[in-house]
């Protein structure tokens, strides 16, 4: 088996922007592990199981992507999985400062490198938080998430 990369996040819920990064990153590694943080502190809209299910359904057509969950430190999870690289998407310069800090901390903790991939500009304004806010007030997010995620958002928020 060649290099494995880890793409971590909360994915509450997965968006087309996430999927663009996952798909493009997966083309550069033998295996891309998508690590879904349990993240109780963020009080996610979707349970861990729901987030995992939506992601698995979204990446079903990608041959070398595995979706799994983790709790605690990303550096520890990367070590457990024997992963050599973390992959993160950058939407804008404003993402960079915090991402750089995390990359340096993860290198310090686990000697692991972070590779950044620029998001497709088509999705650069997207975030899960914004999707939830717009959907909550009945705005149209149908072109920003996969159809099955839209259906779950509608179910959860009680709007069409």
Catalytic option among 51, 58, 128, 152: 128
Q: Catalytic residue at 127?
A: no
Identity of the residue, 9 or 52, whose beta carbon is nearer to ligand PNS in the bound complex: 9
Cβ contact 54:11 at 8 Å: yes
Q: Catalytic residue at 24?
A: no
Q: Residue numbers of the site for ligand PNS (CB under 6 A)?
A: 8-10, 37, 73-75, 102, 105-106
Q: Catalytic residue at 51?
A: no
Identity of the residue, 75 or 150, whose beta carbon is nearer to ligand PNS in the bound complex: 75
Strand order in the sheet with 113-118: 65-70, 31-37, 4-9, 85-90, 113-118
Structure tokens at 70: 């983790």
User: What number of helices (H) and strands (E) belong to the chain?
Assistant: 6, 5
Q: Catalytic residue at 91?
A: yes
Catalytic option among 26, 58, 88, 91: 91
- Minimum CB–partner distance for residue 148 and ligand PNS (Å): 20
Rounded-to-integer distance, Cα 79 and Cα 73, Å:
10
The catalytic residue positions are 18, 42, 91, 128
């Amino acid at each position: 088996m060649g290099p494995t990369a880890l793409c971590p996040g909360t994915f509450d819920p997965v968006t087309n922007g996430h999927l663009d990064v996952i798909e493009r990153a997966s083309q550069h590694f033998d295996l891309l592990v998508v690590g879904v943080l349990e993240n109780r502190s963020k009080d996610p809209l979707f349970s861990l199981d729901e987030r995992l299910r939506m992601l698995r359904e979204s990446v079903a057509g990608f041959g070398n992507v595995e979706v799994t969950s983790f709790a605690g430190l990303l550096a520890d999870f990367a070590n457990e999985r024997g992963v050599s690289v973390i992959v993160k998407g950058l939407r804008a310069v404003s993402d960079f400062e915090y991402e750089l800090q995390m990359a340096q901390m993860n290198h310090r903790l686990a000697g692991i490198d972070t590779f950044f991939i620029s998001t497709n500009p088509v999705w650069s304004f997207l975030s899960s938080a914004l999707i939830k806010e717009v959907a909550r007030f009945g705005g149209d997010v149908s072109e920003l998430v996969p159809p099955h995620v839209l259906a779950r958002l509608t179910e959860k928020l009680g709007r069409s």
